[in-house]
Structure 1
Amino acid sequence: MEKRFSEMTKEELEQALIKFKEGAMKKHQAGFFSEAAILEQKFYTAKSYLMNPEDFYPETAYTVIGYEQPFKITYLNGIMAWGVFKDQEEEVAFPISRLQAVE
């Protein structure tokens, strides 16, 4: 049975990142886009455990990797940032590793 990301050491998480990134590239090249997307999501979730959630601030706008519109954080729950996109009301969540500061 595999460990949870929250139970892994930094080295184990870094190995998992490599595995997920390589797996996603192979699945994408083979045309298995759904499976590639799942591995990419696992990559971002694992990567979030190497980051500090305290570096992300509610009521601040960020760019979400793979999306065009700014994303404003409402609140954080562990490694997940909950918030809304500009001009939308529905709240969604992303792993903090998918967020980048708006420049």
Structure 2
Amino acid sequence: MEQLMDIEQLKKLSPEQQEQVILGVKQQAAIANAQNLITELSEKCTQKCITAPGSSLSGGDKQCLQRCMDRFMDTWNLVSTTLQKRLQEEMQRGGGMLGGSSFS
């Protein structure tokens, strides 16, 4: 298991090393986000569409699941794109949440 770093350890890293840490955190966040998306999608659409659990899905259940997943993904993509644009606009105005990528 990787050892966690505190802020003092991060400050001692070179800018390149800090950037690598930031990239790793972003990658881990993206993976966690994808896992959460799949879990939420499965739970919501299964609860909505599977009316009579059994060994196979009815045609109506399959159609409901497909439509539910399509709507869920379309909505998620819209929200994600909108959030990304807002964050980029905020960073361009200089009011980024992190105030830059350096820890020092």
Question: Which of these two proteins has the greater Rg computed from alpha carbons?
Answer: 2
TM-score bucket (shorter structure): 0.3 to 0.5
Higher relative contact order, chain-length normalized (CA < 8 Å, sep 6+): 2
| TM-score, normalised by the number of residues in structure 1 | 0.33
Query: Which one has the bigger helix percentage?
Result: 2
